[in-house]
Chains A and B, each alone.
Chain A
């Protein structure tokens, strides 16, 4: 009887653990099976051929997602250029400079950033960031890849700060003491010893921030302008994979090639975030072994 109870508890927890894996595989299966008709009709190569995304064209529909991928990576990379230096500087301040009480106040405030609804942030991009960008760079409109990058950077910031702070705090105190005892200043110690020692943790934090940025939908949808043209600079309007699905899924005839193509776009997005998160995890594991 006792054994039965033990086993029941064990399997209950195992089932709960398995559930998330089952859901993940389920989503993977759903995306792949729903995009199969599109792959058959359009052909895998045509999705990645040079051209445009224009499934509702009057004459010949086009299904190239290259511009969408480019837009996604522009917003993702742009947000990192903005968020990583800021996030690491912030994490360094929290871990190395701020006193215990200061940290207690600041860390929750930064974490609140993560709780801002993305639609609110998108609105902020439209009415505050866009006019500033237009003014600064003399553009007609500030609704472009740069705007999206800044906003998504703000969204990725809490993830980067929080994980990078953990990584910096985990650097053994003996390294800092050894450096200080050699006559290094506090800042020399931080820049030459502490941050390099925490580097793989910081990279992992940035990758996870990137994963967040790439999948982000509502903010970029509101702030980037969603043009389908090939973007050539950060001042151009771009459309990301995620925004593309959100914009078109509501109006597409169910079962059409266009409908199935959107599932393929979702599948590509899923693979990109999956690979980024996997890389972040691998780097994080390596980093744990080092410490």
Chain B
């Protein structure tokens, strides 16, 4: 991704530091969206059809149907245990690691059903990156953390790796802070820096989609804001799907919002619409804080 793409983030400068005016936000995003619509070939990056998911006997998701737009930020909100994290992790099949799970329906990423037996999970996870709730850098140097992904995917040339590491750290807005100590252990960084490093690590494998599982819940407000800024910046080049407990965060950073309740997708739409005139009463009750 080029730098010029990164620099354009009109929404961010507008919403930073004050309570957001949702209408203004909505307008600016709508504008951005129509522009993108013309550019992209496929309007749907991830398409979920009649998807149900079970942990041994417990049903975690039922009949979810959802379309996720490319190069936008989609926020998944809902009370604890509503299935939003489960849903997020089905998109790069991280749920495969839990024994005894079962699923029905299909998840189509870039036109391919990812649960088809012929699909290579390794290749899928390269295309669909995941940022975890707790920053989890490897106990290696900062450089090695970022270079790990490209290395396992067969990139060995030092100069190429150097380039990728610098570019990824730049994109993750961490380069200036760590460029003089790339050899230091990643564990010497602060929590917020570690999380940005984890984002850089994902960016280094050039994914199409970045999944984020409450990426700021373990961070302080300043670090949180930096990550939010980063997410807005990245949305011009990546499809981002983020689980968040924080409704203000969803309103601040997302273009689309999906509300989950008891394993069901209650409502999905433009963020401004969900937060101003939700169609379902349950959504309204949740976002106005009557439960959750």
Contact = CB atoms under 8 A, between A and B. Distances in A.
A254 interface: no
B136 A174 contact: yes
Interface residues of A, number: 18
Contacts of B122: 183-185
B188 to A, nearest CB: 12
A231 to B, nearest CB: 41
A179 interface: yes
B136 A183 contact: no
A178 interface: yes
Interface string B85-99: 000000010100100
B10 interface: no
Interface residues of B, number: 26
Which residue, of A172, A184, A192, A197, has the highest number of chain B Cβ atoms within 10 A? A184
Contact of A174 (B134, B202, B205): B134
B132 A182 contact: no
Which residue, of B123, B138, B198, B201, has the highest number of chain A Cβ atoms within 10 A? B138
Interface in B81-134: 92, 94, 97, 122-126, 129-130, 132, 134
B259 to A, nearest CB: 25
A233 interface: no
A200 to B, nearest CB: 11
A24 interface: no
Contacts of B38: none
A182 B129 contact: yes
Contact of A182 (B126, B139, B140): B126
B152 interface: yes
B79 interface: no
Contact of B125 (A174, A181, A192): A181
Contacts of A185: 122, 152
Given A182-B125, A188-B152, A193 B130 contact: no
Contacts of A172: 136
A95 to B, nearest CB: 16
A183 B126 contact: yes
A182 B202 contact: yes
A192 B145 CA distance: 11
Given A193-B138, A197-B139, A180 B205 contact: no
B97 A177 contact: yes
A175 interface: yes
Contacts of A175: 136, 138-139
Contact of A181 (B94, B134, B137): B94
B149 A177 contact: no
Contact of B149 (A174, A183, A196, A290): A183
A192 B92 contact: no
B59 to A, nearest CB: 24
A185 B151 CA distance: 12
Nearest to B136: A174
B148 interface: yes
A183 B122 CA distance: 4
A177 B125 CA distance: 11
Contacts of A290: 139
Given A175-B139, A177-B132, A183 B153 contact: yes
Nearest to A171: B139
B152 A180 contact: no
A182 B136 contact: no
A188 B152 CA distance: 7
A180 B125 contact: yes
Interface in A122-180: 172, 174-175, 177-180
A174 B132 contact: yes
Contacts of B149: 182-184
29 contacts: A172-B136, A174-B132, A174-B134, A174-B136, A177-B94, A177-B136, A178-B132, A178-B136, A178-B138, A178-B198, A178-B201, A179-B138, A179-B148, A179-B152, A180-B97, A181-B132, A181-B202, A182-B202, A182-B205, A183-B126, A183-B152, A183-B205, A185-B152, A192-B148, A192-B151, A192-B152, A193-B148, A196-B139, A290-B139
Interface of A: 172, 174-175, 177-185, 188, 192-193, 196-197, 290
Q: What are the 9 closest A-B residue pairs judged by CB atoms, nearest first?
A: A183-B126, A174-B136, A181-B130, A183-B125, A182-B149, A184-B152, A178-B136, A188-B152, A183-B122
Given A179-B138, A192-B148, 11 more contacts: A175-B138, A177-B136, A179-B148, A179-B152, A181-B125, A181-B129, A182-B152, A185-B122, A193-B148, A197-B139, A290-B139
